[in-house]
């Protein structure tokens, strides 16, 4: 298991959660990773993802002791100021994310530490952005 593997697993889980969210709530939300250049939707929520970097640290004693890696996934829930009115859509998106990334959940050897409460919406150009952070940890072999 490597840090890239862990990031890819967290990212895939998030995309799966958003696919379920879209089906259950009738949305057509899109997920954008850093450096995606696709056009942002005008009439739907969309998500921007950023990895909050950190360095693994030795967790166990000895040469073969595993390293622990704790990192965050910054999720910006975004929507056009002209198309998304009120907070209902943002609240639904946050609640769904928080329900699927609960503290203590473990998937693929990765533990969810917490889903930080969303910050207040901020205005970015012509859209609103609501940041949410999911913190996870995993133990990596000391290679």
**Cβ atoms of 95 and 132 closer than 8 Å:** no
Whether residue 53 has pLDDT greater than 90 = no
Fold of 3-140: STM4215-like (3.30.2000)
What does the pLDDT look like over 54-75, one tens digit per residue?
777 777 778 778 888 888 999 9
- Cα separation, 42 vs 60, whole angstroms: 49
Q: What is the pTM of this model?
A: 0.83
Structural domain boundaries in the chain: 3-140
- Cα separation, 48 vs 52, whole angstroms: 13
């Amino acid at each position: 298991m490597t840090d890239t593997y862990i990031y890819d697993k967290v990212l895939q889980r998030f995309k799966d959660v958003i696919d379920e969210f879209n089906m259950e709530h009738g949305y057509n939300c899109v997920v954008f990773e850093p450096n995606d250049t696709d056009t942002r939707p005008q009439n739907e929520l969309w998500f921007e993802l950023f990895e909050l970097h950190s360095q693994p640290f030795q967790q166990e004693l000895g040469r073969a002791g595993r390293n622990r890696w704790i990192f965050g996934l910054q999720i910006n829930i975004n929507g056009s100021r002209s198309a998304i009115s009120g907070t209902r859509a943002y609240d639904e998106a946050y609640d769904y994310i928080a329900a699927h990334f609960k503290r203590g959940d473990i998937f693929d050897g990765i533990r969810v530490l917490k889903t930080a409460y969303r910050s207040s919406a901020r205005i970015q150009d012509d859209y609103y952005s609501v940041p949410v952070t999911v913190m996870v940890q995993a133990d990596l072999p000391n290679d």
